[in-house]
Amino acid sequence: MEGMSNHNDLPPDLAEIEALARAAMATLPVAFKAEAEKVVLQIEDLASDAMLTDLEIADPFTLTGLYDGVPLTEKSVSDQTVKPDAIWLFRRAILDEWIERGDVSLAALVAHVYVHELAHHFGWSDEDIASIDEWWT
């Protein structure tokens, strides 16, 4: 499988999903890379019960990623930072979608989910996303 170092026929672990997301971050245009690096990247198997409850999502396998923060377009210099902005990627949901789709590499799917969540941080439109993520074109 593309972008994986695991040779034991085991699914990619959290570290491998993180490595794929960081590889996607490295390909961002210079204009976005520095700000993207300020967003904390969290990789978990599935979204927590609290996240699912807040989003009113019953099936954790339907949530592949989540942006947790205040978009740059809504921030003010007078805002008190309570916690850093974060992008959450959910390994098991991503793997399920990857297997179900069967038409994209795992690296491409992780990059897609990462960029989609990063779009929320930047307040990007679909056109903005398309300029970074070919998936949308």
CB-based contacts of 61-64 (< 8 A; 24+ apart in sequence): 61/92, 61/93, 61/96, 62/93, 63/90, 63/93, 64/89, 64/90, 64/93, 64/94, 64/97, 64/113
Quote the tokens at residue 21. Answer: 């997301």
* Tokens representing residue 46 in the block: 């599935």
H or E element at residue 132: helix 126-132
Q: Say if strands 65-68 and 86-90 run parallel, antiparallel, or are unpaired.
A: antiparallel
Q: Are 114 and 65 in contact (CB under 8 A)?
A: yes
- The pLDDT of residue 135 is 64
pLDDT in tens, 71-114: 888 887 766 777 899 999 999 999 999 999 999 999 999 999 99
Rounded average pLDDT over 9-16: 91
Residue 137 pLDDT exceeds 90: no
Residues 6+ apart with CB under 8 A from 36: 25, 28, 118, 121
Tell me: pLDDT of 2 over 50: no
Domains and CATH numbers, the chain: 14-72+83-136 (3.30.2010.20)
pTM listed for this prediction: 0.85
SS3 111: helix
Residue % of the chain over a pLDDT of 90? 64
